[in-house]
Amino acid sequence: MLKIAVLGSRETVMGFKALGLEVFPVEGADEARAEFKKLTHSRDEYAIIYIEEDLSLELRHEIDKLKDLPTPAVILIPGPGGSLGLGQSALNAAVERAVGSAI
């Protein structure tokens, strides 16, 4: 069976722990990157990685590399400060890629 990981600041991941997901509280970009690498190295173990939007900014390259693989799915979620619109822009990027121009 596969697992779901949540990567984010302590306040973000706290609630998900109660849902039974595996949470990884991190502070700062470096720690997030190290943790993210660890999560993706055991590739088949985590099928979904939810990651907080403001961390994803720093990890953009790592996340983009996983885009074309069937697993894991890296999904951006808003942090406690509200949505930054990054998830929406990821959606638009995919559309742009498919259509060949922004619509």
Partner 1 sequence: MATAAVTPTRMVLNQLKGRLKTATRGHKLLKDKRDELMRQFMDIVRRNRELRSRVEQGLTEAFAAMTVAGAIMSPEMLGQALLYPRQKVQLGLSYENIMSVDVPVFDFKTEEVDAGDIYPYGFAQTSGELDDALAKLFQVFSDMLELAQVEKSMQLLAQEIEKTRRRVNALEYVMIPEMQENIKYITMKLEENDLSTKVRLMKVKDMVLEQAHDFHY
Cα distance between residue 35 and residue 50, in whole Å: 13
Q: How far is the CB of 101 from partner 1 (least distance, A)?
A: 11
Which residue number, 3 or 33, has a Cβ lying nearer to partner 1? 3
| Number of Cβ within a 10 Å radius of residue 97 | 9
18 binds partner 1 per the rule CB under 8 A: yes
- Closest residue by Cα to residue 52 from 82, 32, 76: 76
97 binds partner 1 per the rule CB under 8 A: yes
Q: How far is the CB of 82 from partner 1 (least distance, A)?
A: 6
Residues 6+ away with beta carbon under 8 Å from 81: 54
Q: Is the peptide bond before 78 cis (omega within 30 degrees of 0)?
A: no
Residues lying near partner 1 in the complex (CB under 8 A) are found at 1-4, 11-12, 14-21, 47-48, 50, 67-68, 70-71, 73, 75, 77-80, 82-83, 87-88, 90-91, 94-95, 97-100
